[in-house]
């Protein structure tokens, strides 16, 4: 069975960003809560919304900038660290397919 586009985006982010943080013994409780909140928010979106959410987080709101700094300080990969791979994989052509 093929994955939905939403499952594909979440699978990518789970593998590259979310699960390593959630499974990390060194990630702070606040960081894990933030990741769970991000996952919860993204799961409410369709694929287009998920891609927009990713880019909006990269472009930076106060909250996303602070959270990205926390992740970096704790040594975790962030959306910024998977940007190139995300951009190639989840481009407009993929969204329209």
Which regions of the chain are under pLDDT 50? Answer: none
Distant-in-sequence, close-in-space partners of 36: CB < 8 Å, separation ≥ 6: 22
Q: What is the pLDDT, as a whole number, of residue 63?
A: 87
Q: What is the pLDDT, as a whole number, of residue 81?
A: 97
Q: What is the pLDDT, as a whole number, of residue 60?
A: 84
Q: Where are the domains of the chain?
A: 5-19+29-96
Q: What is the pLDDT, as a whole number, of residue 11?
A: 98
Whether pTM > 0.85 for this model: the answer is yes
Long-range contacts of 48-51 (CB under 8 A, 24+ apart): 48/95, 50/6, 50/9, 50/10, 51/9, 51/90, 51/95
């Amino acid at each position: 069975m093929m994955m939905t586009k939403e499952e594909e985006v979440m699978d990518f982010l789970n593998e590259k960003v979310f699960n390593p943080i959630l499974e990390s013994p060194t990630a702070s409780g606040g960081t894990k809560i933030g990741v769970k909140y991000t996952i919860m928010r993204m799961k409410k979106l369709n694929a287009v919304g998920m891609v927009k959410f990713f880019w909006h987080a990269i472009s930076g709101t106060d909250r996303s900038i602070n959270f990205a700094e926390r992740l970096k300080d704790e040594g975790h990969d962030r959306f910024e660290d998977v940007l190139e791979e995300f951009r190639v994989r989840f481009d407009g052509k993929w969204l329209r397919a």
